[in-house]
């Protein structure tokens, strides 16, 4: 494994040298995210605010009978007390020297209020996060009423993190409210952690991501880090910031709090602090970072998305079991964006597995907020012939929803967003079985 890792890292350095001559090429025009999308993984779940998609009817004679699912926890607080404490301390230091503008003084007051509210809550689900999962569950029953009926077995599992457990609890509570006769089992333990969050143990993938960020992400971020307009709004003495504070940390801390206000019902709107260019540039840097640490790029030899190979295999094995069971069923899993993103890419949903090496044009083809907002989810729906109780597994069709919108898959469609499960299964199994040949554990 060490030999393979050295080989891949060596190729990273050689690619880096070959790309260095193009580092100064002007950035190509990329779509402008709105202020909420600029938050990347902090985007609050976009349904129904961004419009509910209409789903395509199943081919004639087919009905849904099973669901495989993975969902990110809902909207949450920031993860660490320091995320709230540090910007307050920095602005208090500036205030003590009379270095804040009137807007800076107001910001300090706002940040203190947010800081006080965050105590004992960091990393936890917000009320909006609870509602997101109840609404997702309700729409599951509306979209697939044939599955969620009395006697259906719903098996739900979560990582051991409380916000994920509560996300699971909210979906299950809503499902049982709508259909009390569901047969439900729930679990959140270390026994399933390696399936639901295998990326945390994949040291090779993590090392490759870190190396790629250092080689390509950091220089790209540096070219998109003009914070002068923000600093001028907050401080009346830019030199004081340079000499006594850390401009990058202040900007980053306030940016994170700002984009995360959309996960709350009662936090002030701080977007006036940033210009459109500042929001866009910060998103460009984050978009590049997430692509390097989760994407199917030659810059990491396409290795990183395989950190979800265990989870994808679990999807397949669970679906195989459902094929031979007479009972309707749904397997629901709950975790994090660091899993939803590479899983989406490994599954090749919506061309998310595109291999790109030019970060300057990345945003025109790959956008992180389209994949993993708070509450993001993958729903894989299986369909069988309605009038054939002894159907053959080869007859099964499948459709995948990414954030409740129909997704394209990497095999030939039968009709619209419907694909033959045998074709998709064969594609994924060939990919997973080829991992040991192409890489090492």
DSSP string, 84-138: HHHHHHHHHHHHHTT-B-HHHHHHHHHHHHHHHHHTTTTTPBPHHHHHHHHHHHH
Specify the pLDDT at position 441: 63
The model's confidence at residue 388, banded by pLDDT at 50, 70 and 90, is: confident
Query: What pLDDT, in 10s, does the model give residues 340-358?
Result: 999 999 999 999 999 999 9
Assess contact for 430 and 419: CB atoms under 8 A.
no
- The pair of structure tokens assigned to 9 is 């890292």
Average pLDDT of the chain, as a whole number: 92
CA 5 to chain centre: 26
- Whether the CB-CB separation of 137 and 131 falls below 8 Å is answered with no
Pairwise pLDDT comparison (390 vs 209), residue with the higher score = 209
Strand ranges for 191-241 from DSSP E: none
pLDDT exceeds cutoff 60 at 2:
no
At 95 the pLDDT is: 98
Please report the pLDDT score of residue 254 as a whole number: 98
Q: Residue 76 has what DSSP assignment?
A: B
What is the sign of the dihedral through the CA atoms of 204, 205, 206 and 212?
Answer: positive
Kindly report the pTM of this predicted structure. Answer: 0.92
Tokens read off for 168: 């699971």
Give the residue among 411, 366, 419 at the shortest CA–CA distance from 395. Answer: 419
Q: What is the pLDDT of residue 53?
A: 87
**In this predicted structure, what is the pLDDT of residue 32?**
79
- Report whether 15 contacts 357 (CB < 8 A): yes
Identify the residue whose tokens are 């749904």.
330
Q: Omega of the bond prior to 124 within 30 degrees of 0, cis?
A: no
187 bridge partner residues: 157
Residue with tokens 């996060």: 129
Position 29 pLDDT exceeds 80: no
Q: How many helices and strands in the chain, by DSSP H and E?
A: 17, 9
Helix, coil or strand: residue 212: helix
pLDDT tens readout for residues 211-260: 999 999 999 999 999 999 999 999 999 999 999 999 999 999 999 999 99
Q: Residue 83 half-sphere exposure, CB side, CA atoms within 13 Å? A: 18
Domains and their CATH numbers in the chain: 2-21+33-75+124-210+275-438 (3.40.50.1240)
């Amino acid at each position: 494994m060490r030999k393979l890792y050295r080989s891949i890292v060596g190729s990273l350095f050689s690619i880096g040298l070959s790309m260095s001559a193009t580092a100064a090429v002007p950035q190509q025009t990329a779509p402008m995210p709105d202020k909420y999308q600029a938050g990347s993984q902090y985007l609050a779940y976009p349904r129904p605010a961004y419009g509910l998609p209409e789903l395509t009817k199943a081919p004639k004679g087919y009905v849904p009978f099973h669901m495989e699912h993975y969902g990110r926890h809902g909207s949450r607080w920031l993860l660490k007390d320091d995320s709230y404490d540090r910007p307050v301390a920095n602005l208090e230091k500036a205030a003590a020297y009379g270095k804040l503008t009137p807007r800076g003084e107001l910001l300090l007051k706002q940040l203190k209020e947010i800081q006080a509210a965050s105590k004992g809550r960091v990393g936890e689900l917000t009320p909006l996060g609870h509602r997101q999962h109840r609404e997702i569950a309700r729409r599951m029953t509306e979209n697939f009423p044939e599955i969620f009926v009395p006697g259906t077995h719903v098996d739900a599992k979560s990582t051991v993190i409380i916000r994920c457990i509560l996300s699971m609890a909210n979906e299950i509570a809503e499902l049982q409210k709508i259909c009390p006769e569901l047969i439900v089992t729930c679990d959140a333990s270390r026994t399933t952690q390696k399936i639901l969050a295998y990326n945390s143990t994949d040291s090779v993938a993590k090392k490759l991501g870190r190396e790629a960020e250092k080689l390509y992400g950091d220089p790209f971020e540096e070219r998109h880090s003009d914070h002068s307009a923000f600093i001028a709004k907050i401080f009346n003495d830019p030199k004081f910031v340079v000499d006594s504070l850390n401009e990058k940390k202040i900007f980053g801390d306030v940016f994170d709090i700002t984009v995360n206000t959309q996960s709350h019902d009662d936090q002030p709107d701080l977007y006036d602090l940033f210009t459109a260019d500042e929001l866009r540039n910060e998103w460009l840097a984050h978009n590049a970072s997430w692509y390097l640490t989760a994407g199917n790029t030659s810059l990491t030899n396409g290795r990183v998305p395989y950190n979800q190979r265990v989870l994808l295999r679990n999807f397949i094995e669970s679906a195989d079991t459902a094929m031979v069971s007479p009972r309707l069923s749904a397997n629901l899993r709950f975790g994090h964006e660091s899993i939803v993103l590479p899983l989406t890419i490994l599954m090749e949903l919506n061309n998310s597995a595109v291999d790109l090496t030019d970060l300057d044009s990345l945003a025109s083809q790959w956008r992180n907020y389209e994949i993993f907002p708070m509450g993001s989810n993958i729903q894989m729906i299986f369909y069988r012939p309605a009038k054939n109780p002894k159907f053959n597994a080869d007859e099964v069709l499948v459709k995948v929803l990414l954030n409740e919108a129909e997704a394209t898959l990497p095999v030939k469609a039968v009709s619209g967003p419907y694909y033959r499960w045998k074709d998709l299964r064969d594609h994924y199994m060939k990919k997973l079985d080829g991992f040991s040949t192409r890489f090492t554990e």
